[in-house]
Amino acid sequence: MIKLSRNRLSDDVVKKLEQSREKYIELAARKLPIPDALATAYNRVEIKECLINESAGKCMYCEGKMLHVDYGDIEHIVPKNLGPEFRYSYENLGLSCRVCNGRKGGFHDATSPLLNPYCDDPDEHFLAAGPMIVHKLGSDRGKITKVKLELNRKDLLEKRAERIENIQSLFEQFSKSKERAIRKVLFEQICLECGSGKEYAFVVRAYAQAIVSDNPAVFNEMKIEYY
């Protein structure tokens, strides 16, 4: 999980969400059935595209890419059944893989809610131990998020390990190369591999930073930038 930022929805979509919210409240107050089209009015193409852009097509929780095999779920950070203000609020939506969405289910704890990468900085709650994600001491929310979403499930550990091995290979090539031009290309590739659009950037960045810190004589000129 890495920090995410919100894009701006078009005024037209914002207006339609507000109209849907008001209609939902009206029908609920009159104890009338809620049509399926109204109940899922947040599931709009424009909204989905915006969420995909914000997360670079990755799950907002585990950072796995899924759009090549799945549509991805529009996730309600605070469960939508807690009120129409959560059902139709764009700030309460995110892109999630089906597994993380299923693990989360309708869970919500007002005192210690799951981490929200749009509002919370995961770096303040998590540490990377190789391919594993561990919560920082004292971070109850980090622990709850890690356990509830099973952020260290087997398939994630395997994929993160592959990403770490890939960037390790780039560092080894960089350390052995004497050609300035080649080192420049390798450095740019390392920065790209740490970028927000890459899978499992949280653990990859932590590994890259550790390599640079532990080998100052080799990588003293490197200041990794995230694209």
Judged by average pLDDT, the poorest of 73-87, 99-113, 212-226 is: 212-226
Q: Average of pLDDT values for 170-195?
A: 90
Report pLDDT for 223. Answer: 66
Residues 6+ apart with CB under 8 A from 57: 65, 66, 67, 72, 95, 197
CA distances from 159 to 48, 115, 132, 150, 162 (A): 25, 22, 11, 15, 5
How many residues does the structure list for the chain? Answer: 227
Report pLDDT for 98. Answer: 93
Q: Which residues pair with 76 in a beta bridge?
A: 93
**Has this prediction a pTM greater than 0.85?**
yes
Residue 173's CB is within 10 A of a number of other CB atoms, namely: 15
DSSP 3-state percent helix, strand, coil across the chain (nearest 5): 50, 10, 40
Q: Average of pLDDT values for 49-54?
A: 95
